[in-house]
């Protein structure tokens, strides 16, 4: 029987340090400030934004919320982003994704100042990660690494399989694990015989959004399993992994909810305080 990785507890521990860093920045006369932009009324996005704002308030980070109608034009959204880029009281800018279909996410992300891109989604920050330079790291994969490390598992030399190749999670997760000297395999929707790869994974990170994609027979005994997905099934939250059966095989596994989600929010707070610290340096 494996252990359940308590993401809420791990995030709470990380947040103690973040709160101290926020206080230190405030003591120098600057309150870290995160701008949060929500376009439209996607219920999941609304809930995520609410959780981010609540955690920021708990840690002493100011938030400036912009709730825009679904009909907002790309031009208007980019104008708002540019205005926030130029506002020295704002340290981090988060535009909640997904955006309505008529708005190009790529264009919007490209217009966020890389220095305020606490989501780590600007191509400049993605390039910094790719080339091993310092930049903002996307919150979810950064949190995944923290959760693996919270188990005491040594990453170097391990086989890590990442399922999913998104810019937000899969690709940066693979790069982060590579930077920690894991041997990384990326799988995705066109991968043939997924189980052949996953059965070899000492660390398995799944970020797809297909409930029960990963079943117990696909998991190497003793593996660390990080389930990034959050799917609504019959009114309950489910990840990609069949949690109950996987718990019998894995050494450690994240639950959904209460696994990756809280750590993702903590990493957003960490990136925001880092952005504020950099303005003082
Ligand atoms: N939607 C789902 N995950 C994320 C995230 O990490 N950042 C933003 N901006 N939107 C998201």
With CA atoms as reference, report the closest residue to 114 among 101, 106, 123.
123
pLDDT exceeds cutoff 90 at 204: yes
Q: How many Å apart are CA 179 and CA 186, to the nearest integer?
A: 15
Summarize the confidence of residues 110-134 as an average pLDDT: 98
Q: How many Å apart are CA 238 and CA 235, to the nearest integer?
A: 10
Do 2 and 249 form a contact (C-beta atoms < 8 A)?
yes
Q: How many Å apart are CA 121 and CA 98, to the nearest integer?
A: 13
* Cβ of 119 below 6 Å from ligand 1: yes
Active site residue 96: yes
| Domains 29-113 and 139-261 fall in the same CATH topology | yes
pLDDT exceeds cutoff 90 at 111: yes
Active site residue 23: no
Q: Tell me how crowded residue 142 is: count the other CB atoms within 10 A of its CB.
A: 22
Confidence category of residue 281, pLDDT binned at 50, 70, 90: confident
Percent of the chain at pLDDT above 70? 100
Three-state DSSP state, 13: helix
Distance 168 CA to ligand 1 centre (A): 7
* Cβ of 95 below 6 Å from ligand 1: yes
Strand partners of residue 261: none
Say if residue 98 is preceded by a cis peptide, omega within 30 of 0: yes
Q: Tell me how crowded residue 157 is: count the other CB atoms within 10 A of its CB.
A: 10
Q: How many Å apart are CA 34 and CA 235, to the nearest integer?
A: 32
Q: Which CATH number fits domain 139-261: 3.20.20.70, 2.40.50.140, 3.40.50.720, 3.40.50.300?
A: 3.40.50.720
Relative orientation angle of helices 43-59 and 260-280, to the nearest 10 degrees: 50
Best of 42, 55, 96 for a ligand 1 pocket test (most atoms within 8 Å of beta carbon): 96
Check residue 117 and give its pLDDT: 99
Check residue 197 and give its pLDDT: 98
Which sequence spans correspond to the domains of the chain? Answer: 29-113, 139-261
Check: CATH 3.30.70.20 for 29-113?
no
Q: Which atom of ligand 1 is nearest to the CA of 139?
A: 6
Structure tokens at 194: 């997924």
Q: How many Å apart are CA 54 and CA 183, to the nearest integer?
A: 37
Arithmetic mean of pLDDT over the chain: 98
Q: How many Å apart are CA 157 and CA 183, to the nearest integer?
A: 6
Q: Which atom of ligand 1 is nearest to the CA of 45?
A: 1
Rounded-to-10 torsion of CA 161, 159, 11, 248: 80
Q: Please report, for residues 3, 51, 72, 209, the alpha-carbon distance to residue 187 in angstroms, rounded to integers and kept in the order given.
A: 25, 30, 36, 14
Summarize the confidence of residues 66-80 as an average pLDDT: 98
Three-state DSSP state, 57: helix
């Amino acid at each position: 029987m494996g252990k359940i990785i308590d993401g809420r507890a791990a995030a709470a521990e990380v947040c103690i340090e973040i709160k101290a860093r926020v206080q230190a920045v405030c003591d120098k006369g600057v309150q870290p400030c995160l701008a949060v932009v929500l376009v439209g009324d996607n219920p999941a996005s609304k809930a995520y934004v609410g959780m981010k704002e609540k955690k920021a308030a708990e840690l002493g980070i100011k938030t400036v919320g912009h709730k825009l109608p679904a009909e907002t034009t790309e031009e208007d959204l980019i104008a708002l982003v540019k205005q926030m880029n130029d506002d020295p009281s704002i340290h981090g800018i988060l535009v909640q994704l997904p955006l309505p279909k008529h708005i190009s996410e790529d264009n919007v992300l490209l217009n966020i100042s890389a220095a305020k891109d606490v989501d780590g989604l600007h191509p400049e920050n993605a390039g910094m990660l790719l080339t091993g330079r310092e930049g903002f790291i996307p919150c979810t994969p950064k949190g995944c690494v923290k959760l693996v490390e919270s188990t005491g598992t040594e990453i170097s030399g391990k086989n890590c399989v990442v399922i999913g190749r998104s810019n937000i999670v899969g690709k940066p997760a693979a790069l982060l694990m590579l930077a920690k000297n894991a041997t990384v395999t990326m799988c995705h929707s066109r991968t043939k015989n997924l189980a052949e790869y996953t059965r070899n994974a000492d660390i398995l990170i799944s970020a797809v959004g297909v409930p029960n994609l990963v079943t117990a027979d696909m998991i190497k005994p003793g593996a660390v399993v990080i389930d990034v997905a959050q799917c609504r099934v019959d009114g309950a939250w489910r990840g990609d992994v069949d949690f109950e059966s996987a718990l019998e095989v894995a050494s450690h596994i994240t639950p959904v909810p209460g696994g990756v989600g809280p750590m993702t929010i903590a990493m957003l707070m960490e990136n925001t305080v880092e952005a504020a610290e950099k303005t003082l340096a």
